[in-house]
Structure 1
Amino acid sequence: MLRLSFVTGTEPGKWFTRFRDRTAHGQLLATDSEDPVAELLDARADLALTRLPDPRVTDEYHVVELYREAPGIALPKDSELTLLDRLSPADIEGEIINWSTPPDGRIDIPAVRTGLQVVAANVGVLIAPRPLIRVLARKQIEHRDFLGDVPVTTIALVWRRADDSEAIQDFVGIAKGRTPNSSRQAAPKRTAREKTLAKQQRRAAGGADERTRRSRRR
């Protein structure tokens, strides 16, 4: 069984389906979490789909980055700012900012939830990864791309090097877009002697084919 914890703001359901359909590793136990790295540290998960940066992810872990999240801004549904497709810092000058991605790029999901409640009450705005806003936003909230100088967050698969396994590698491959027909392992490199022997074998086979063709013409 593979235990995977995925961070709020991601929607990896299609990967779960492909993993179950394409592999024979047994059950996949997937849980939504505001802090999947904590579950990895506590050995409650084998693999974490998490948001980086996170200082707890050290050299003890494998990290495979999958994609970057666009910064977004949450707005009250009735705000005139919703008329814009993208917003810049100049557009929100004078607005109350209930929460914004900090300079270190770490996302405090409980704080984002709380800030969105204030935005839903028609007060101020909030700046965070747009996929996270999309998942957490209520009906009273609209969201747009934000063009300000905000740290970019990255979604990545993280697991402890000591706990690497075939199941983890197969899931990572699926998340990276590997098809059922593709190979996870690269073809091994041949030595110079192996290359020479292979060339000799091809020449010998070619000579045998030529002799066969001549005998048929006689």
Structure 2
Amino acid sequence: MKPRSSEPALSIGFVTGTAPGKWFDRFGERTGHGEPVAGESVDPMAELIDGRVDLALVRLPDPRIDDTYHLVRLYEEEPGIAVPKDSELTLADTLGVDDISDQTVFYRPDVDGSVDIRAVGEAVDIVATGVGAVLAPRPLLRRLGSRRTENRGYRDGRPTTIALVWRVVDDCDMIQDFVGIARGRTEASSRTAQPKRSASEKAAAKKARRTASGDASRRKPVGRGGAGAARRRRRK
């Protein structure tokens, strides 16, 4: 559906390492708001604060989120580790702190779990030269990795949380529709979804319209004298 002419498109900033494309498609297909205007960002929260976007898909924690914002937690990311492609560590499906005791770790999340995306990217570039390791959310390592690095699950790390954030004063049906889709609302349960009729229901409705149209065309005024006069004229 195309957006309503009087309604601007929903703008969304999504943090690097997330892939919300399926939500954008469903939003455009299931609602009357049209496709959102979206872009990847290392700091979508800054874009939300500046008013550049209506919604931000962020990685928690973020100390800038206060009671002037709505926040909905969506899912958790697996902790991961990036190592050089030719490292023996790639032989394992998951790694732990004991496996990397002799490795230089060029980046790890802060104590509170926050992640500096730019710092992760710089550390991955170092690992790509053939040394060390990087600890970060695994989806982020997939996004920033190269052919010279590989990532694995890190069993001794903490999961990170991905959430949607928007300004309380901006809350509206359009935002709520997107939030519902991101939280898994199906097409059948969507607030904006239109009920679908089966083929037989459509055929029955079409037949009823034709019958009604035919009846209307056959109805003619009987003129003066009423029905009795009309019958007398037909007998002549």
For the aligned pair, the TM-score class normalised by the smaller chain equals 0.7 to 0.9
Show CA shifts across 1:120-177 (max 9, x none): 00010000000100111001111111112x3431000000111101111000111111
Unaligned runs of 5+ in 1: 186-218
TM-score by length of 2: 0.76
Classify the secondary structure of the residue corresponding to 1:145. Answer: strand
Contact 1:97 1:126 in 2 (8 A): yes
Q: Following superposition of structure 1 onto structure 2, how do residues 48-127 of structure 1 map, counting pairs within 5 Å?
A: 48-127=56-135
Matching residue within 128, 136, 154 for 1:146: 154
Partner of 2:181: 174
TM-score by length of 1: 0.82
Name the count of aligned residue pairs. Answer: 184
Show CA shifts across 1:8-42 (max 9, x none): 00001111011011111144110100000000000
Classify the secondary structure of the residue corresponding to 1:74. Answer: strand
Q: Max radius of gyration: which structure? A: 2
Classify the secondary structure of the residue corresponding to 1:81. Answer: helix
Classify the secondary structure of the residue corresponding to 2:123. Answer: helix
Partner of 1:28: 36
Which 4+ stretches in 1 moved above 3 angstroms? none
How far is the alpha carbon of 1:183 from its aligned partner?
4.8
Q: Which has the higher contact order (CA 8 A, sep 6+)?
A: 1
CA distance in 2, matches of 1:108, 1:28: 27
CA distance in 1, matches of 2:150, 2:109: 18
Classify the secondary structure of the residue corresponding to 1:154. Answer: strand
Contact 1:130 1:144 in 2 (8 A): yes
Q: Which AA in structure 2 matches 1:68?
A: E
Please provide the CA RMSD for this pair: 1.3
Unaligned runs of 5+ in 2: 1-8, 193-236
Matching residue within 15, 24, 32 for 1:16: 24
Matching residue within 154, 157, 163 for 2:164: 157
Q: Which AA in structure 2 matches 1:70?
A: E
- Aligned-residue sequence identity (percent) comes to 55
Q: Which AA in structure 1 matches 2:89?
A: L
Partner of 2:47: 39
